[in-house]
Amino acid sequence: MNKKQKTMNLTVGRPLRQIFLFAVPLVFGTIFQQLYSFADTVIVGRCLGTDALAAVGATSSLHFLILGFVQGACVGFGIPVAQSFGADDHEEMHRYLWNGTWLCVFLSTVLAVAATGLTETLLTVMNTPEEIFSMSAEYIGILFMGIPASVLYNYSASVMRAIGDSRHPFYFLLFSSILNIVLDYVLIMFFDMGVGGAAAATVFSQFVSGALNVWWMFRHMEDVRVKKDEMSPSLRHVKRLCIVGLPMGFEYSVSAIGAVIWVVLLPAAKPLVYIVLGETVSDVALGAQRYLFLCSCLFVFHGSLMIFRNTLQGMGYSFHAIISGVWELVGRSLGGWLAVHAAGFTAVCLANPMAWIFALAYCVVLVFYMIRKNEKRLGIY
């Protein structure tokens, strides 16, 4: 008989040590999750040329918009699971786990069908150049059809982390990232599948990592079980999951584009461009280096935004976290307007930092206002 494995209980032991041990795999997992799109970019750029690279790049905002929503919603769906687990209420934990599963099945199906059906319309609205339109549609269309695979990994990983295991989702993600790189090269170079091969490799690799999570969770984690009466849909549990998860999904969809760290980008701008495009001094390469340099210098605003926005969520003001996402859109829109009417490519480079600054200002004001308001309510001066 297979021995079940105990998970980490973050409510027991020295808090700093427990948080550190739990957080390290999360940090590295986030980094490796970026390897999916980065591997596509590198191999497409090197093997298929700048037109194919432009086709992949033209879809990045759409991809991150959907991927961000999926990641945020799945993280949110894991929060009631974590709360029930921390309260040692295993029956309630399993009700949330299974209702989250049914909710993920529904959402991933709706998102996949809607996004796939709207692919060409969305690319047209974005004024995608005609010469790369078909390649862009092929690439993002396959990624949209693979949304259930992304949901499978993100939700299963969220549940595992919620009940104290952050290591195995990272191990499986690392394996699938390597698998994605290998499949990218094989499907493009040996099967001549073009950008569609890169997208298919990403979807399959995500499915593998999600399947491994599910296998490990039910096979090796003693806190996970299958009981028929706990698997039935419950409106109360679904409502709670939606209240927590959907706002986080909308927030992540806005901010997902800005998820790498400046200390990596600043010194590595030129090498990263070389990895993708090869040794070249073209306008494309010089522009890419400039973009990475300017964004990396201003990443302190993105890190600060994450701190203050998550503080708002922790205080229970999820609606205001969504509003901060609206301010991000305002900042990006202003950058786009300046790019067209005044500052050109410099404004393009500064669009994301402007978005972070607009949202950060809103969050800082709200956090201090809410803290002061609660202090007055409690009589603390």
Distance CA 358, CA 67 (A): 23
Q: Which two tokens stand for residue 363?
A: 């969050």
| Residue 188 contacts residue 44 (beta carbons within 8 Å) | yes
Please tell me what DSSP assigns to residue 2: P
| Residue 292 contacts residue 277 (beta carbons within 8 Å) | no
The total of other beta-carbon atoms located within 10 Å of residue 243's CB is: 12
Using 50 as the pLDDT threshold, list the residues of the chain that sit under it: 1-3, 258-259, 261-266
Q: What is the 3-state secondary structure (H, E, C) of 297-351?
A: HCHHHHHHHHHHHHHHHHCCCHHHHHHHHHHHHHHHHHHHHHHHHCCCHHHHHHH
Q: Which two tokens stand for residue 16?
A: 């700093």
Q: What is the pTM of this model?
A: 0.72
Q: Which two tokens stand for residue 266?
A: 């600043």
> Amino acid identity of 208?
V
- Give CA separation, 372 vs 93, 99, 322, 375, 381, in Å: 34, 37, 21, 5, 9
Which residues on adjacent β-strands are paired with residue 162?
Answer: none
DSSP-based three-state secondary structure for 5: strand
| Residue 305 contacts residue 356 (beta carbons within 8 Å) | yes
User: What is the model's pLDDT at position 1?
Assistant: 37
Distance CA 221, CA 45 (A): 42
Which residues on adjacent β-strands are paired with residue 221?
Answer: 5
DSSP class per residue in 197-266: HHHHHHHHHHHHHHHHHHHHHHHHBTT----GGGSS--HHHHHHHHHHHHHHHHHHHHHGGG-S-HHHHH
> Amino acid identity of 258?
G
| Residue 100 contacts residue 78 (beta carbons within 8 Å) | yes
Tokens 């209980």 belong to: 9
For residue 150, give the nearest of 220, 86, 66 by alpha carbon: 66
User: What is the model's pLDDT at position 20?
Assistant: 73
Listed in sequence order, the residues at least 6 apart from 282 whose beta carbon sits closer than 8 Å to its beta carbon are none
| Residue 73 contacts residue 248 (beta carbons within 8 Å) | yes
